[in-house]
Amino acid sequence: MKRPKIALIGGGNVGGTLALLIANQKLGDICILDIPDVENIMKGKALDVMQLRPHVGSDVNLMGTSDYEDLKNTDVAIITAGIARKPGMDREDLLNINIGIITEVANNLKQVAPNAFVIVLSNPLDAIVYSFYKISGFPKNQVVGMAGALDSGRFRTFVSMETGFSVEDIQCLVLGGHGDTMVPITRLSSVAGVPLEEVIPKDRIDEIVKRVRFAGGEIVKLYGTGSAYFAPAQCAIEMAEAYLMDKKRVIPCASLCEGEFGINGYFIGVPTVIGSGGVERILEFKLTTDEQAALDKTLEVIKKTVAETGV
């Protein structure tokens, strides 16, 4: 059986980590693309991971390139291209530079891989995934952004760190924009089905929620020269795997809403069913008044950033 072809557009920290994870998990053949100035580095990363394969029993093939023609017949494209956050920057500070990059990516990808399922990781996420969708003309089911997948994982991590319980038994949901106005739904969070409020005092939950909202910035400050890459890469793998294996996973992702949760025409973090049809469905549920108000607030931030793209 022919292996799927996975394109990694952007071969920095996230792209390199993705290549390693995909090879380890044997998801498909990998093409790492970046600008001509670093093409040899991409080829080096591909060769490095190729030489790792005997130790993990993986036969996937890898190549590094700067030529979009090498992305023909791509099944999944994971976009990480763009500059990373630096200390003192928020995601909106990245917009002017990264909008130019995503425009080039969209224009090229629609020529060589019009049927690819596209997962966008570049920040500011909500505006960049919207811009890719508009510029590329891809159907809405083929385009998704990694938002709540990472944020929900961070929420689960912090609950596990607080309680000492396994992350496997912790369920958390984060809606909204991939930024400081995200909306952790504590009401639906649980430990093995036990409501979170029964496990952790409210004041500690509030502290955890605050840490979730600023978790990306916390890592940026610690790194000093970049942003998170291990966890974002694994989240993208989950999304790609759900598509390639038709798993019907329900993952909080930035999907195009057309009326769901009262939102129309914007990509925002919502529970998204990913299967072989790409974005197959958005699971809508009734929010409390406070939750809806918080979602409306994050939507206004997204609208402002999207308007600034000029797309």
With H, G, I as helix, E, B as strand and everything else as coil, classify residue 60: coil
Structure tokens at 277: 């049809």
Cα gap 250→282, rounded to integer Å: 9
Residue among 98, 158, 123 nearest 254 (CA):
123
Per-position b or e across 36-58, b if 16+ CB within 10 A of its CB: eeebeebbebbeebbeebeeeeb
Cα gap 249→242, rounded to integer Å: 6
Q: Which residues are catalytic?
A: 178
DSSP one-letter code for 180? T
CB atoms under 10 Å from CB of 13, counted, come to 18
Per-position b or e across 272-283, b if 16+ CB within 10 A of its CB: bbbbeebbebbe
* HSE-CB for 287 with a 13 A CA cutoff: 23
Residue among 70, 67, 88, 69 nearest 29 (CA):
70
Contacts of 244 (CB under 8 A, 6+ apart): 4, 27, 28, 75, 76
Structure tokens at 84: 């990373």
Under 8 Å between Cβ of 77 and 118: yes
CB atoms under 10 Å from CB of 149, counted, come to 28
